[in-house]
Chain A
């Protein structure tokens, strides 16, 4: 966000945000505390967050819903756009917030009694606890849906379009310009622009589901790509000069990536992660991944107001979805629990020669 042109030089206080001293930014939560931690505290106002969808789009959708849920919980306004799924469906599926935090942040009491592998004790675990007493980011229960009256009271704008795409003079698929216009008008009406001085400053969360899917295509692959990139560039420009944060999920799996479209989208966005779920892949049966649901690839890290992109402690990240929590963890090897025979060889005295040992081995000759 370009604060230099904002009226008044001080970073304003807005509910649901926290200032980041390091790069003079205002952050909002993605709704997943462990993701906030990985990307460097949260999403700066004015930035664009790209989620490259997993094969079936399940987890990307859940992440998007967390982002929306966080908006509802912190009473921030929300704009949802989709062409694939009815937005009313997306809204009604928003998970309910867990107010009782003790059940989640319960420390595992086995820590004290059991100390396995002392050399691992200094290994860093991703800290999901909120920083400094101030609540930033919540946990949500996927089994419970948010109450209807909460949704009715929340400031949610929906954009859903199932019309047949036409061509206009700026985009090959006019849907893009409809959505852009809609976003622009919402930003204007809500006075989210940095040049405005509304009585109550708020941050608009813009969530766009499955952008660039088959329903967004135009006649040729090239035209579709150009449209998507053009839209994203204008969207980025709008976000930069507004109190708004954009989160988009893009099914990059569906693209023929010969024209590096995925990388071009990453270039336009500020933070990019790619989800690789194990569902339907060979990794599902791999014992290494048995505790997890997929891999999280960090494709682009935040480099706003600094020359060095944020450098997380680890880049080998996995995610797992529990009923009450979507967690991102550093990938560790699972403990070896089965009876191992690996130490047996230490007991045998090394012998040279062909068959000097009394106990017969099948391969001995």
Chain B
């Protein structure tokens, strides 16, 4: 996972108060980007606050075990906070039948805020990871409400300058779909924008997809001499990720 962090550049830059946006295009899986962000945060001794709309905590725990960190243990120690909207609705089904849809989304925000306040009080660095914010559509949010939601989240980290935010969005081939429009908005305000795309030629046994890294802070780019847009090819396997520049093979990289 260190190699991925290195390629992304997140191991060099201090991301406090910044927003990372990951666009996961359909037919790709951006979990590897997320796990490199997690392992980087743990290396820097940050607190992590998970907001999991798409996968369960167990999923990330099992991934973590393969890359050398135990999230369940860290959770018991209080280093990792987990907010699982799916669990909230499963054990409180009246959310679906009785209240209007927006309440659950609001409730989740309130939970995020209280959890964040708790961590901030102890004066620690924290990263909030939101796995697939595009699911708030499934809670009945329209585009306007979702944009406001992102603004709330953003102001939350602007207030606490020791916190950072990482949002995953799943997008489709349709430019007008809810999540694509929302991602466009997010891309504009993000400091680091990462995109995973499927291969145009279909499936390959040697590569899983393309990854595009776009640093939107000029001073960081000039300091490390990074181009505006970096493109790589990645290959996923169970316990490792290989990243190489287009045109080279994994062995040469």
User: Interface of A with B (CB < 8 Å)?
Assistant: 1-5, 22-24, 168-170, 177, 180-181, 184, 195, 226, 229-230, 232-234, 236-238, 240-242, 258-260, 263-264, 266-268, 300, 303-309, 311, 315
Query: Chain B residues with Cβ under 8 A from A305's Cβ?
Result: 58-59, 62-63
Q: Are A4 and B138 in contact (CB under 8 A)?
A: no
Shortest 4 CB-CB distances between A and B: which pairs? Answer: A305-B62, A233-B138, A308-B236, A237-B86
- Given contacts A307-B31, A308-B208, is CB(A177)–CB(B97) below 8 Å? yes
Which one of B88-96, B112-120, B224-232 is at the A interface? B88-96
Is B57 an interface residue when CB atoms closer than 8 A count as contact? yes
A164 CB to nearest chain B CB (Å) = 20
Query: Chain A residues with Cβ under 8 A from B26's Cβ?
Result: 260, 263, 266-267
**9 additional contacts, CB 8 Å, given A170-B96, A258-B174, A309-B29?**
A1-B58, A2-B58, A229-B137, A229-B138, A230-B140, A241-B86, A307-B236, A308-B208, A308-B238
Q: Roughly how many angstroms separate A229 CA and B178 CA in the complex, as a whole number?
A: 13
Q: Roughly how many angstroms separate A237 CA and B135 CA in the complex, as a whole number?
A: 12
A190 CB to nearest chain B CB (Å) = 15
Q: Roughly how many angstroms separate A168 CA and B96 CA in the complex, as a whole number?
A: 11
Q: Are B63 and A184 in contact (CB under 8 A)?
A: no
Query: Chain B residues with Cβ under 8 A from A300's Cβ?
Result: 27
Binary A-proximity of B186-219 (CB < 8 A = 1, otherwise 0)? 0000000000000000010100100000000000
Is B32 an interface residue when CB atoms closer than 8 A count as contact? yes
Q: Roughly how many angstroms separate A260 CA and B171 CA in the complex, as a whole number?
A: 10
Query: Chain B residues with Cβ under 8 A from A195's Cβ?
Result: 91
- Given contacts A170-B97, A234-B89, A237-B89, is CB(A303)–CB(B172) below 8 Å? no
Q: Are A260 and B100 in contact (CB under 8 A)?
A: no
* Contacts A/B (CB < 8 Å), 7 sampled: A2-B56, A237-B87, A259-B177, A303-B31, A304-B55, A307-B238, A315-B203
Cβ-closest chain B residue relative to A309: B29
Residue in B93, B173, B208 whose beta carbon sits within 8 Å of that of A184 in the complex: B93
Query: Chain B residues with Cβ under 8 A from A237's Cβ?
Result: 86-87, 89-90
Residue in A181, A229, A266, A303 whose beta carbon sits within 8 Å of that of B29 in the complex: A303
Cβ-closest chain A residue relative to B67: A307
Q: Are B135 and A233 in contact (CB under 8 A)?
A: yes
Query: Chain A residues with Cβ under 8 A from B61's Cβ?
Result: 4
Q: Are B90 and A238 in contact (CB under 8 A)?
A: yes
Q: Roughly how many angstroms separate A318 CA and B29 CA in the complex, as a whole number?
A: 26
B87 CB to nearest chain A CB (Å) = 6
- Given contacts A4-B72, A306-B238, is CB(A241)–CB(B87) below 8 Å? yes
Query: Chain B residues with Cβ under 8 A from A3's Cβ?
Result: 58
Q: Are B90 and A263 in contact (CB under 8 A)?
A: no
Q: Are B90 and A307 in contact (CB under 8 A)?
A: no
B184 CB to nearest chain A CB (Å) = 16
Cβ-closest chain A residue relative to B75: A4
Query: Chain B residues with Cβ under 8 A from A230's Cβ?
Result: 138-140
Query: Chain A residues with Cβ under 8 A from B29's Cβ?
Result: 303, 307-309
Most chain-B Cβ atoms within 10 A of its Cβ — which of A168, A181, A237? A237
Most chain-B Cβ atoms within 10 A of its Cβ — which of A4, A242, A263? A4
Is B245 an interface residue when CB atoms closer than 8 A count as contact? no
Query: Chain B residues with Cβ under 8 A from A229's Cβ?
Result: 137-138
- Given contacts A180-B96, A237-B90, A307-B63, is CB(A259)–CB(B174) below 8 Å? yes
Cβ-closest chain A residue relative to B96: A170
Cβ-closest chain A residue relative to B134: A267
Cβ-closest chain B residue relative to A22: B238
Q: Are B101 and A241 in contact (CB under 8 A)?
A: no
Q: Are B86 and A260 in contact (CB under 8 A)?
A: no
A214 CB to nearest chain B CB (Å) = 22
Q: Are A304 and B138 in contact (CB under 8 A)?
A: no
Q: Are A260 and B58 in contact (CB under 8 A)?
A: no
Cβ-closest chain A residue relative to B93: A184
Is B66 an interface residue when CB atoms closer than 8 A count as contact? yes
Query: Chain B residues with Cβ under 8 A from A307's Cβ?
Result: 29, 31-32, 35, 63, 236, 238, 241
Q: Roughly how many angstroms separate A240 CA and B96 CA in the complex, as a whole number?
A: 17
Q: Roughly how many angstroms separate A170 CA and B170 CA in the complex, as a whole number?
A: 24
A300 CB to nearest chain B CB (Å) = 8
Q: Roughly how many angstroms separate A23 CA and B58 CA in the complex, as a whole number?
A: 11
Is B237 an interface residue when CB atoms closer than 8 A count as contact? yes
Q: Roughly how many angstroms separate A309 CA and B208 CA in the complex, as a whole number?
A: 10
Most chain-B Cβ atoms within 10 A of its Cβ — which of A169, A184, A242, A260? A260
Q: Roughly how many angstroms separate A23 CA and B205 CA in the complex, as a whole number?
A: 21
Q: Roughly how many angstroms separate A305 CA and B208 CA in the complex, as a whole number?
A: 18
Q: Are B172 and A264 in contact (CB under 8 A)?
A: yes
Cβ-closest chain B residue relative to A9: B72
Most chain-B Cβ atoms within 10 A of its Cβ — which of A2, A307, A315? A307
Q: Roughly how many angstroms separate A303 CA and B177 CA in the complex, as a whole number?
A: 24
Most chain-B Cβ atoms within 10 A of its Cβ — which of A23, A181, A259, A264? A264
Cβ-closest chain B residue relative to A231: B138
- Given contacts A230-B140, A258-B174, is CB(A4)–CB(B58) below 8 Å? yes
A208 CB to nearest chain B CB (Å) = 17
Query: Chain B residues with Cβ under 8 A from A180's Cβ?
Result: 96
Binary A-proximity of B38-81 (CB < 8 A = 1, otherwise 0)? 00000000000000000111110111001000001000000000
A274 CB to nearest chain B CB (Å) = 13
Cβ-closest chain A residue relative to B88: A237
Q: Roughly how many angstroms separate A226 CA and B35 CA in the complex, as a whole number?
A: 31
B202 CB to nearest chain A CB (Å) = 8
Q: Roughly how many angstroms separate A296 CA and B126 CA in the complex, as a whole number?
A: 45
Q: Are B57 and A2 in contact (CB under 8 A)?
A: yes
